[in-house]
Amino acid sequence: MSRYRGPKLRITRRLGNLPGLTQKQSKKTNRPGRPGQRDKNNDDGNKKTTEYGLRLEEKQKLKFNYGITESQLYRYIKEARRRKGVTGLILLQLLEMRLDTICFSLGFASTIAGARQLVNHGHITVNGEVLDIPSFQCRLSDTIGVKPKQSSINLVQKNLESSKFTDLPTHLNFDKSKLEGKLMNYADRSDVLLDLDELLVIEYYSRR
């Protein structure tokens, strides 16, 4: 399945705030229920969600926020299970180690989709080398910078000036004068902006 390219506010109305998907806020509406709920017999729009439905929603949050496909998420789940430690936390750490996610966390782009585009277009370097693979798994001590080209520098500086996030995650170090970030550690759970119960995502895939 390809990545979602439809209306983003429709998704945030249904799943809640997804900082990696969009920074825009949907307008308040008097329409009962959430997008996709058009049951006229359900006047209050508060039909109870099943346990499976809850797990599905948490999985959807992860997919839409990080802009990954179903097959990509399943591969991350398998890798998280393979490693020693808390599977849910390891899953989030793997996603936070993606190059496009790190560029977003550094403020190089306002969304993860925007960061992915920066990487795809060759504006980003890793340890001094241009890398155009958004899913690249960065390692500790890697340096993520901007291609030494004026158009790339101007684009990133413009995004940094309009960034809504002022607090840098504790696992990253950023030198604004050089436009370089360094991966100092694995992401802490408190640094993940997404409001998510990752255990429900693990449970969703537990029977696969």
Condensed to tens digits (0 to 9), the pLDDT of residues 116-149 reads 999 999 999 999 999 999 999 999 999 999 999 9
Domains assigned to the chain: 98-185 (3.10.290.10)
What separation in angstroms does the CA of 120 have from each of 109, 137, 178? 13, 15, 21
Q: Which two tokens stand for residue 108?
A: 């190089």
Q: How far apart are CA 76 and CA 120, in angstroms?
A: 21
Give per-residue pLDDT as tens, 73-121.
999 999 999 999 999 999 999 999 999 999 999 999 999 999 999 999 9
Task: Please tell me the pTM assigned to this model.
Answer: 0.84
Q: Which residue has the higher pLDDT, 36 or 123?
A: 123
Half-sphere exposure in the Cβ direction for 63 (13 Å, CA): 21
